[in-house]
Structure 1
């Protein structure tokens, strides 16, 4: 149903070739606006990336890396293994 409706809409709206070639000036104006928009966005993006950001909130503490970094999980696993081994031997009670 939707597919047939879409085809019918395209057949009704379909412009002829002479209509499309008649308004080429509009295409040039729109291309110029699009190019100008792209240049402005590029300049703004480059300014954003090049200017160092020194706006840090004074009330928030800086993040400190976890002890051991990405390897901090290994000591935790070893501690759990030791605890489980002691529990298996009966030295640790809950």
Structure 2
């Protein structure tokens, strides 16, 4: 019963939710509900690029080999409003930021 309530709250985008790789990859329109957990537990920090692809998927916008960005929230036209940026050093994530388009 508790899992059903959690799923309903997630689908309705109510509150913040525990990061779940499958939900992140299958429901990109709901990612903003998972972001707090990513930062709270620093989930990407210390992970390799391969591990990041497994956790977050392969659709990152790769600006350079040192910066990857995943869309978190988009407008009705598909333009990214908020993105999760991952910064790599020696192929390992060392920093994360949430970028909000102005």
TM-score using structure 1 length = 0.23
Greater radius of gyration (CA): 1
TM-score using structure 2 length = 0.22
